[in-house]
């Protein structure tokens, strides 16, 4: 398939997209490929999950990477 054919197919697919979030993701990808600064965008549910994770860390409810590696080695040897 030629570049022109690919561009035509991509444009056609983009024209059929109705979800703003998907269009934003596509734009982010294109801008990343152009070398422009990429800014991550998150949905409200993702933001909520990040906040839950932050609170878990603040309360000490986490495991360090080194402890996890140690547990994994023990689990793997079973």
Domain ranges of the chain: 23-76
Yes or no: say if 28 and 50 are a contact pair by the CB < 8 Å rule. no
User: Would you state the pLDDT for residue 3?
Assistant: 94
The answer to whether residue 77 scores a pLDDT higher than 80 is: yes
Q: Which of 58, 54, 29, 53 is nearest to 41 (CA)?
A: 29
How does DSSP assign 8-42, residue by residue?
HHHHHHHHH---HHHHHHHHHHHHHHTTPPP----
Q: What is the pLDDT of residues 15-68, one digit of tens each?
A: 999 999 999 889 888 887 766 565 677 889 999 999 999 999 999 999 999 999
At 77 the three-state DSSP class reads: coil
Q: Please state, in angstroms and rounded to a whole number, the distance separating the CA atoms of residues 53 and 76.
A: 27
């Amino acid at each position: 398939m030629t570049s022109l054919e690919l561009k035509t197919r991509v444009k056609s697919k983009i024209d059929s997209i109705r979800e703003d979030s998907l269009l934003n993701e596509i734009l982010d990808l294109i801008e990343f490929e152009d070398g422009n600064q990429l800014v991550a965008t998150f949905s409200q549910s993702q933001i909520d999950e990040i906040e839950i994770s932050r609170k878990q860390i603040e309360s000490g409810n986490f495991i360090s990477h080194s402890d996890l590696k140690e547990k994994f080695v023990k689990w793997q040897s079973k």
